[in-house]
Amino acid sequence: MMAQYQKVKDQYPDAFLFYRLGDFYELFNDDAIKGSQLLELTLTTRNHSSANPIPMCGVPHRAVENYVDILIDKGYKVAICEQMEDPKKAKGMVKRAVTRLITPGTKMDLKGDAAQSNNYLTAVLPVENGFKLAYADLSTGELKVTTLANQGAVLNELINLQTKEIVYEQALPADLVATLNKRNLLLSKQTTQEPQAEIAYLTQELTDAGEKQVVTLLVSYLLTTQKRALAHMQIAQSYELNSYMEIDHNSKANLELMVNMRSGKRQGTLAWLLDATKTAMGSRLLKRWLDRPLINLDEITERQDKVAVLLDHYFERSNLQEELTKVYDLERLAGRVAYGSVNGRDLIQLKTSLNQVPKIKYVLETLEAPVFDQMLAKLDPLADVATLIDQAIVEDAPVSVTDGGVIKVGYNDQLDTYRDAMNNGKEWIAQLQKKEREATGINNLKIGYNHVFGYYIEVTKANIAKLPADRYERKQTLVNAERFSTPELKEKEAIIMEAQEKSTSMEYDLFVAVRDKVKAQIGRLQKLAASLAELDVLQSFAVVSEDYHFVRPKLNQGHELKIKAGRHPVVEKFLGHQEYVPNDVVMDPNTEILLITGPNMSGKSTYMRQLALIAVMAQVGCFVPADSALLPIFDQIFTRIGAADDLVSGESTFMVEMMEANNALQHATPNSLILFDEIGRGTATYDGMALAQAIIEYVHDHVHAKTLFSTHYHELTTLDQRLTQLKNVHVGASEENGELVFLHRVEAGPADKSYGIHVAKLAGLPDSLLKRADTILTKLEGKKATVPTPVSATPEPKLVTEASGQMDLFDPTPTNKPSNTKANRVLKQLKDLDLMGMTPMEVMNQVYQWQRKLR
For residues 265 and 256, give the distance between their C-alpha atoms in angstroms, rounded to a whole number. Answer: 10
Q: Per DSSP, what are the bridge partners of residue 630?
A: 554, 562
For residues 719 and 715, give the distance between their C-alpha atoms in angstroms, rounded to a whole number. Answer: 8
For residues 623 and 371, give the distance between their C-alpha atoms in angstroms, rounded to a whole number. Answer: 17
For residues 280 and 292, give the distance between their C-alpha atoms in angstroms, rounded to a whole number. Answer: 19
In 252-397, where do the E strands start and end? Answer: none
Q: Is residue 497 a known part of a binding site? A: no
Long-range contact set of residues 37-46: C-beta below 8 Å, sequence gap at least 24: 38/70, 38/71, 38/74, 38/76, 39/67, 39/70, 39/71
- pLDDT in the model for residue 661: 86
For residues 166 and 188, give the distance between their C-alpha atoms in angstroms, rounded to a whole number. Answer: 6
With beta carbons less than 8 A apart as the criterion, state whether 806 and 812 touch. Answer: no
Q: Is residue 599 a known part of a binding site? A: yes
For residues 122 and 172, give the distance between their C-alpha atoms in angstroms, rounded to a whole number. Answer: 13
Give pLDDT tens digits for 209-261: 999 999 999 999 999 998 888 889 999 999 999 999 999 998 999 999 999 88
Amino acid present at 834: D
Angle, alpha carbons 357-361-362 (nearest 5°): 120
For residues 477 and 483, give the distance between their C-alpha atoms in angstroms, rounded to a whole number. Answer: 6
- Three-class SS state of 764: coil
For residues 560 and 622, give the distance between their C-alpha atoms in angstroms, rounded to a whole number. Answer: 20
Q: Which of 263, 287, 143 is nearest to 206 (CA)?
A: 143
Quickly count: other Cβ atoms within 10 Å of residue 181's Cβ: 11
Q: Is residue 576 a known part of a binding site? A: no
- pLDDT in the model for residue 811: 45
For residues 332 and 284, give the distance between their C-alpha atoms in angstroms, rounded to a whole number. Answer: 12
For residues 558 and 589, give the distance between their C-alpha atoms in angstroms, rounded to a whole number. Answer: 7
Quickly count: other Cβ atoms within 10 Å of residue 261's Cβ: 14
Q: Is residue 400 a known part of a binding site? A: no
For residues 484 and 465, give the distance between their C-alpha atoms in angstroms, rounded to a whole number. Answer: 13
- What architecture is the 413-515 domain classified under in CATH? Orthogonal Bundle (1.10)
For residues 330 and 526, give the distance between their C-alpha atoms in angstroms, rounded to a whole number. Answer: 7
Angle, alpha carbons 797-803-806 (nearest 5°): 55
With beta carbons less than 8 A apart as the criterion, state whether 115 and 140 touch. Answer: no
- Three-class SS state of 658: helix
Domains 275-382+521-547 and 413-515 share a fold: yes
> What's the CATH code, domain 112-239?
3.30.420.110
Angle, alpha carbons 120-255-124 (nearest 5°): 25
For residues 701 and 834, give the distance between their C-alpha atoms in angstroms, rounded to a whole number. Answer: 34
Strand order in the sheet with 473-477: 446-450, 454-460, 481-485, 473-477
Question: DSSP of 418-429, one letter per residue?
Answer: HHHHHHHHHHHH
First to last CA, the chain: 81
With beta carbons less than 8 A apart as the criterion, state whether 790 and 683 touch. Answer: no
Domain ranges of the chain: 2-102, 112-239, 275-382+521-547, 413-515, 554-762, 767-854
Amino acid present at 230: L
Q: For the packed helices 344-367 and 314-324, what is the interaxial angle rounded to 10 degrees?
A: 170
Amino acid present at 197: A
Angle, alpha carbons 447-448-453 (nearest 5°): 120
**Domain 2-102 CATH assignment equals 3.40.220.10:** no
- Three-class SS state of 474: strand
Q: Is residue 602 a known part of a binding site? A: yes
Total H helices, total E strands in the chain = 27, 27
Q: Is residue 487 a known part of a binding site? A: no
Quickly count: other Cβ atoms within 10 Å of residue 643's Cβ: 15
Question: DSSP of 386-428, one letter per residue?
Answer: HHHHHHHB-TT--S-SSSS--BPTTS-HHHHHHHHHHHHHHHH
Query: What distance lies between CA 754 and its chain's CA centroid?
Result: 40
Task: Report the CATH fold assignment for 275-382+521-547.
Answer: MutS, DNA mismatch repair protein; Chain A, domain 3 (1.10.1420)
With beta carbons less than 8 A apart as the criterion, state whether 355 and 386 touch. Answer: yes
For residues 332 and 139, give the distance between their C-alpha atoms in angstroms, rounded to a whole number. Answer: 5
Quickly count: other Cβ atoms within 10 Å of residue 759's Cβ: 17
Q: Which of 639, 643, 577, 564 is nearest to 609 (CA)?
A: 639
Quickly count: other Cβ atoms within 10 Å of residue 417's Cβ: 14
Q: Which are the contacts of 261, defined by CB distance < 8 A and separation ≥ 6?
A: 253, 254, 642
What is the H or E stretch that residue 472 is in?
none
Q: What Cα–Cα distance (Å) separates residue 635 from each residue in 147, 243, 294, 583, 651?
A: 18, 9, 9, 24, 28
For residues 219 and 226, give the distance between their C-alpha atoms in angstroms, rounded to a whole number. Answer: 10
For residues 759 and 737, give the distance between their C-alpha atoms in angstroms, rounded to a whole number. Answer: 15
Phi, psi (degrees; rounded to nearest 5) at 191: -95, 130
Would you say how long the chain is, in residues? 855
What is the H or E stretch that residue 83 is in?
strand 77-83
DSSP 8-state symbol, 725? T
Amino acid present at 246: E
Question: DSSP of 633-657, one letter per residue?
Answer: PPSEEEEE-S---BTTTTB-HHHHH
Task: Look at domain 554-762 and name its CATH class.
Answer: alpha beta
CA trace torsion 210, 214, 220, 222 (10° rounding): -150
Query: Which positions of the chain have pLDDT values less than 70?
Result: 48-49, 112-113, 642-652, 682-684, 735-741, 752-759, 762-763, 780-820, 834-842, 845
Quickly count: other Cβ atoms within 10 Å of residue 793's Cβ: 6
Strands 706-710 and 673-677: parallel
For residues 804 and 219, give the distance between their C-alpha atoms in angstroms, rounded to a whole number. Answer: 73
Q: Which of 619, 613, 664, 658 is nearest to 639 (CA)?
A: 664
With beta carbons less than 8 A apart as the criterion, state whether 616 and 637 touch. Answer: yes
Q: Which are the contacts of 331, defined by CB distance < 8 A and separation ≥ 6?
A: 139, 140, 141, 281, 284, 526, 529, 533
- pLDDT in the model for residue 108: 81
Q: Which of 559, 561, 676 is nearest to 624 (CA)?
A: 561
With beta carbons less than 8 A apart as the criterion, state whether 214 and 124 touch. Answer: yes
Angle, alpha carbons 656-657-663 (nearest 5°): 85
- Three-class SS state of 215: helix
With beta carbons less than 8 A apart as the criterion, state whether 25 and 61 touch. Answer: yes
Phi, psi (degrees; rounded to nearest 5) at 41: -105, 155
Long-range contact set of residues 682-685: C-beta below 8 Å, sequence gap at least 24: 682/643, 682/652, 682/653, 682/654, 682/657, 682/836, 683/654
- pLDDT in the model for residue 788: 39
Q: Which are the contacts of 644, defined by CB distance < 8 A and separation ≥ 6?
A: 653, 656
